[in-house]
Structure 1
Amino acid sequence: MRERKKPSKIHQMTHRFPAKEIALQSGLSTATVDRVLNARAGVSPQAKRRVETALRELEAQEQQLSARGRRLVIDVVAEAPSRFLREIRSSTERALSTFRPLSIRARFTFHETLSVPDCVAELVRIAKRGSDGVCLKARDVPEIRNAISDLTMRGIPVVTIFTDCPSSQRTAYAGLDNYKAGQTAGYLMSGLLNGADGTVLATQSDRGFQGEEDRLDGFRQQFSRSRPDVPILEVGSGAGLNRRTAEAIEKAYEKGTRIIGVYSMGGGNHGVIKTLTQFRQKPIAIIGHDLDEDNVDLLRSEALTLVLYHDLEQDMRTAIQHILAHRRVLPNAPPDNSLSDIQIITPLTIPDRYCP
């Protein structure tokens, strides 16, 4: 018995586009398109692929056109110092403008400090009132992971930003590779110290943030490899706020300790420098994160040696793309490995956007 020929992939594909439109999109003749769509003989593999590609492109364009009349609302929930929250807001607004003519509105829920119960309560409120997606900067703890799962079960995508909750059911993560950032800081610190003896101070805003834990792990691993003789004094719970960071350092500092370097993962750098000055400490190198207004001022005055920077606008654009792809407004989500580049900013290389 003669084996029946399997129908081609194109023949099985449903579509609602006229052959003329597919021909225009693919660059083929209408007759060739008709032969491909009806699985007739004498069609090259290249022609089939071009028709398949044209159909995918037309479907994506149709989705975008249908979304133009739709108003999307996303929620941005973050716990961070006010100076960094301002950067998140402005970066989000710039990122949203790149999706025009789509109409996307952001609702911001910002707190300098946000307890775990309060964060969970906010996510529960979002779940009840509805949202097209959530961009979330929060601590990686079981209660918040459970709240993320609840949002996901309700069909609301959650993209963690800048710091991840990797074991949650979040849709994606948008930000930098924090472990590699810590390794970069460790590599730079060991070179900047140039063999000096003493102690390196490493400060975090809160140990509940997975991103800062990853930075610290990367820093420890890289720095200790080249300078195993230099102890690391770890200080947390400053919330990235100047006063609280200063108080945390005062409690941890032991008289007679020589601080030769500082790796500040969570901010509060005015507090760091003020406290070390009170203890008559003048570190050889101070490495910070992010170009918020405090760090830009400290870089200009050369109080900071350098800052590890990632483009917040690009991070927010990536997060929004994940949400739009989940909502089928965009055909594809960014690749899972699309993390931000780590940029090293010195007093001489501050981007123009941050200059007066």
Structure 2
Amino acid sequence: MTHRFPVKEIAVQSGLSTATVDRVLNNRAHVSPQTRRRVQDAIAELTRQESQLAARGRRFFIDIVAEAPVRFTRQIQQATEAVLADFRPAALRPRFTFAETMSAEETGAIVERILRRGSQGVCLKARNTEETRHAVRQLEGKGIPVVTVFTDIPDIDRLAYVGLNNEKAGRTAAYLMLKLLKDDDRTLLTTLSQHSFQGEEDRFRAFRSELSRLRPELELIDASGGGGLSPATALGVRDKLQGVKAISGVYSMGGGNLAILRALEAAGIEPGVFIAHDLDEDNLELLRAEKLSLVLYHDLRSDMRLALRHLLAFHGVGEPPRSSESDIQVVTPLNIPGDI
């Protein structure tokens, strides 16, 4: 495995011992595929962060942990690495742990690894479950601050939450939906990746509440639980469409929109309005093809910059942001940002 980094740096980045890294680099026996992948990922991260290795300022290791589809975690990683230079002379060294689904056991193992190798802070996107709350309490108990990003876990002693005000996002989606619907439209489809993601659940509750207040005759069909992953999302939508003749609008809070549209097409249904979140690769393609009416967008680079500022301020470097709430931008096929 070719590389130009000291074994010690790879070990720190991967969270493995130097002996384990040495075994991987020299193709010795008794190395699991997962361990080999962790070393490969660490080398790739070090390659992208090479300028940070040369920085002479105070060094901070930050763990970015997220449960989300690859299309979104790729955006998180790119956004984080894009803002590292903003913090010089401090040298920020992010370490990424991503999974499309994360069991309670996997969450515990990730936290144990962080506790074992040490960290100056964690940016966390995870479900609001007792297992996650316990994991955060463990980190906080060892003096490792936690900033929740994009989806909050409000009933823990986290340092801050950075991201959309998800209740406001849900109300905004309802307002826009009602402006675009016709007077005789009756049925809407909603989808979340999981109701246990607090942010998406907040969007859902606010959306439903606003529609109930303004158009109580509208029926909501909820096809949530696919994790934002295409096969599971498509299956969930197909199941909910049994016997349904028409869907006037879709509000997708958790992604998997290409799969949703294909399931609707298979059922012979074409919604007049489709509102989604985030400008991942799928949504950009669907916007340009005018398959999505609009996307509620927030700049991930700005979000990750704010999250890192909170963590550095905890360690006495700079001041914490006065506000951590993202601006909601409404993106249509006609105003897609040029820097995406």
**TM-score, normalised relative to structure 2:** 0.82
Other structure's SS at 2:144 match: coil
Partner of 2:108 in structure 1?
A: 120
Alignment of 1:77-116 (within 5 A): 77-116=65-104
Q: Is contact 1:198-1:257 (8 Å) kept?
A: no
| Whole-angstrom CA distance in 2 between matches of 1:185 and 1:115 | 31
| Whole-angstrom CA distance in 1 between matches of 2:170 and 2:140 | 31
Partner of 2:249 in structure 1?
A: 261
Partner of 2:259 in structure 1?
A: 271
Alignment of 1:275-354 (within 5 A): 275-330=263-318, 332-335=319-322, 337-354=323-340
| Whole-angstrom CA distance in 2 between matches of 1:82 and 1:285 | 26
| Whole-angstrom CA distance in 2 between matches of 1:327 and 1:184 | 36
Q: Is contact 2:57-2:89 (8 Å) kept?
A: no
Partner of 2:50 in structure 1?
A: none
Partner of 2:163 in structure 1?
A: 175
- Displacement, 1:141? 0.7
Output one character per residue of 1:157-209: Cα deviation in whole Å (capped at 9) or x when no partner. Answer: 00000000000111110101001000000111111112132310000001110
Alignment of 1:178-189 (within 5 A): 178-189=166-177
> Which of 114, 129, 135 is 1:141 aligned to?
129
Residue 165 (structure 2) pairs with residue 165 (structure 1)? no
| Whole-angstrom CA distance in 1 between matches of 2:308 and 2:138 | 20
- Identity of counterpart residues, as a percentage? 51
Other structure's SS at 2:101 match: coil
Output one character per residue of 1:273-304: Cα deviation in whole Å (capped at 9) or x when no partner. Answer: 00000111010100000000000000000000
| Whole-angstrom CA distance in 1 between matches of 2:108 and 2:209 | 33
Deviation larger for 240-249 or 252-261 = 252-261
- Displacement, 1:151? 0.6
Partner of 1:45 in structure 2?
A: none
Q: Is contact 2:57-2:88 (8 Å) kept?
A: no
| Whole-angstrom CA distance in 2 between matches of 1:198 and 1:250 | 19
| Whole-angstrom CA distance in 2 between matches of 1:220 and 1:310 | 22
| Whole-angstrom CA distance in 2 between matches of 1:117 and 1:177 | 30
Q: Is contact 1:286-1:305 (8 Å) kept?
A: yes
Q: Residue type of the partner of 1:346?
A: T
| Whole-angstrom CA distance in 1 between matches of 2:278 and 2:226 | 17
Aligned length in residues = 286
| Whole-angstrom CA distance in 2 between matches of 1:117 and 1:180 | 33
- Displacement, 1:113? 1.2
Q: Is contact 1:78-1:137 (8 Å) kept?
A: yes
Other structure's SS at 2:87 match: coil
Other structure's SS at 1:302 match: coil
Partner of 1:228 in structure 2?
A: 216
Q: Residue type of the partner of 1:129?
A: R
Q: Residue type of the partner of 1:70?
A: R
Partner of 1:150 in structure 2?
A: 138
In our comparison, the structure showing a higher alpha carbon Rg is 1
- Displacement, 1:258? 1.4
Structure 1 runs of 4+ aligned residues shifted over 6 Å read: none
Deviation larger for 261-270 or 215-224 = 215-224
Partner of 1:75 in structure 2?
A: 63
- Displacement, 1:68? 5.2
| Whole-angstrom CA distance in 2 between matches of 1:318 and 1:69 | 20
- Displacement, 1:256? 3.4
Q: Residue type of the partner of 1:324?
A: L
Partner of 1:8 in structure 2?
A: none
> Which of 198, 206, 225 is 2:186 aligned to?
198
Partner of 2:231 in structure 1?
A: 243
Partner of 1:17 in structure 2?
A: none
Q: Is contact 1:189-1:223 (8 Å) kept?
A: no
Other structure's SS at 1:98 match: helix
Partner of 1:21 in structure 2?
A: none
Structure 2 segments unaligned to the other structure (5+ residues) = 1-54
Q: Residue type of the partner of 2:335?
A: T
Partner of 1:132 in structure 2?
A: 120
